[in-house]
Amino acid sequence: MKHFTNVRDIGDLHAALQEAFDIKKDRFRYHELGKNKTLMMVFFNSSLRTRLSTQKAAMNLGMNVIVLDVNQGAWKLETERGVVMDGDKSEHLLEAIPVMGCYCDLIGVRSFASFESREYDYNETVLSQFMKYSGRPVFSMEAATRHPLQSFADLITIEEHKKTPRPKVVLTWAPHPKALPQAVPNSFAEWMNAADYDFVITHPEGYELAPEFVGNARVEYDQRKAFEGADFIYAKNWAAYAEPNYGKVIHRDRAWTVDAEKMALTNDAYFMHCLPVRRNMIVTDEVIESPRSLVIPEAANREISAQVVIKRLLESLP
Ligand code: AN0
Ligand code: CP
């Protein structure tokens, strides 16, 4: 694997899942693979899980790890080519990226959607520059349009808990006070489509995701109807994709909060969320604390998904 930015990069899902379960049984088995190799993790945005789980995965593989928080202590970086740099940005990504590449063997990048321009975000402008100019294998730690390490961990978690070969999985929009990217729901949809589950997306009108991510999912605007017979409820907020509202919060309807009464409509579904989650906006205390909540096992599987990806990138190094 040369880079890891979306579901296609992982190839056959059954093989990837098998590798994940093998690693989960013995996570130190490949401890020699990363010896004297360095992972650089570059964060343009905050993180708790991605930062800790990816570093842990790299350490399980015997790697050294360098973390750069671009907004804390590094020079402010310009990302667009051609601008006259007479503002507060001291350095351009076009120099910073190849410099970072000099000090490491693999690069992980977190760079959320800017919400300034849909075209800029959906072209994955920042992530593509890392792939083009770093000279290193690059993996996404959540970019503008996708969060594949999260989706892979979600898939592992569903495979561990499903009772039928083709469970009904429902992605539901839920309210949040601030505008959040579409990366998590886009990516979740991409992986659920690839896994060929019975997959339904429910959201209020105006929150339609990009058609290339919706794929074969059924879109149901009635949340209660969508929940009927569900085996897994995956909650997430996202801002509007459709123009002219791209990146905007159209409404924060608390009628969409996942609560016990709605969970009672399901087939005793598990509750999932990638975290961080705002309690009593996205989901009630009761549901997230219930025995059907998978939010912690999901986060734990982030170490496993990261380890499969880093292992494969290491195996592909020249
Ligand atoms: C981010 C998002 O919604 O994309 C990261 C989730 C993993 N969440 C927030 O910014 C709260
Ligand atoms: N789920 C997830 O990626 O969490 P962080 O933003 O804390 O890394």
pLDDT higher than threshold 90 for residue 92: yes
Residue 101 lies in a domain: yes
78 and 12 housed in the same domain: yes
Provide the b/e sequence for 254-269 (b: ≥16 CB within 10 Å): eebbbbeebbebbeeb
CB-based contacts of 6, cutoff 8 Å, min separation 6: 140, 146, 148, 187, 190
217: containing domain: 150-298
What does the pLDDT look like over 95-125, one tens digit per residue? 999 999 999 999 999 999 999 999 999 999 9
From 274, 296, 305, the mutation candidate for ligand 2 (largest count of ligand atoms within 8 A of CB) is 274
- Which is the closest atom of ligand 1 to the Cα of 147? 7
For 299-312, what is each residue's pLDDT tens digit? 999 999 999 999 99
Is residue 58 packed enough to be buried (19+ CB in 10 Å), middle (13-18) or exposed (0-12)? buried
Residue 310 sits in the same domain as residue 229: no
**Domain presence at residue 184:** yes
236 and 110 co-located in one domain: no
Pocket of ligand 2 (CB under 6 A): 47-50, 142, 150, 274-276
Gap from CA of 276 to ligand 1 centroid (Å) = 7
Confidence of residue 73 (pLDDT cuts 50, 70, 90): confident
Q: Are 285 and 36 in contact (CB under 8 A)?
A: no
Which pLDDT does position 120 carry in this prediction? 95
Mutate to test the pocket of ligand 1, among 146, 180, 275, 283 (most ligand atoms within 8 A of CB): 180
Domain shared by 99 and 177, yes or no: no
**52 located within any domain:** yes
Residue 151 pLDDT: 99
Other beta carbons within 10 angstroms of residue 141's beta carbon come to: 28
Asked if residue 215 is part of any domain, the answer here is yes
> Which residue's structure tokens are 């919400």?
115
pLDDT of residue 48: 98
Task: Fill in the DSSP letter of residue 269.
Answer: P
Ligand 1 environment, Cβ below 6 A: 142, 147, 180-181, 183-184, 274, 276
Q: Do 138 and 17 fall within a single domain?
A: yes
Q: How many CB atoms lie within 10 A of CB 26?
A: 9
159 and 272: one domain?
yes
Same domain? 159 vs 176: yes
Q: What is the mean pLDDT of residues 169-174?
A: 98
Question: What would the 3-class secondary structure string for 232-252 be?
Answer: EEEEECCCCCCCCCCCCCCCC
- What separation in Å is there between the alpha carbon of 176 and the centre of ligand 2? 16
The count of C-alpha atoms lying within 13 angstroms of the C-alpha of 98, restricted to the half-sphere facing its C-beta, is: 5
Q: Are 215 and 184 in contact (CB under 8 A)?
A: no
Supply the CATH number for residue 77's domain: 3.40.50.1370
pLDDT at 32 over 90: yes
Say whether both 223 and 239 belong to one domain. yes
Residue 37 in tokens: 């190799």
Q: Assess if residue 2 is contained within a domain.
A: no
Taking only the tens place, the pLDDT of each residue in 288-301 is: 999 999 999 999 99
Does residue 157 share a domain with residue 263?
A: yes
Give yes or no for a contact between 33 and 58, defined as CB atoms under 8 angstroms apart.
Answer: no
222: confidence class by pLDDT, cuts 50, 70, 90: very high
Say yes or no: 306 and 288 in one domain.
Answer: no
85 and 113 inside one domain: yes
Domain count within the chain: 2
Whether 33 is in a domain gets the answer yes
Query: What is the average pLDDT across 33-55?
Result: 98
Q: Is residue 39 part of a domain?
A: yes
Structural tokens at position 17: 């899942």
Q: Are residues 183 and 267 in the same domain?
A: yes
Determine, yes or no, domain membership for 202. Answer: yes
Sheet with 198-202: list strands edge to edge.
Answer: 218-219, 198-202, 168-173, 232-236, 270-272
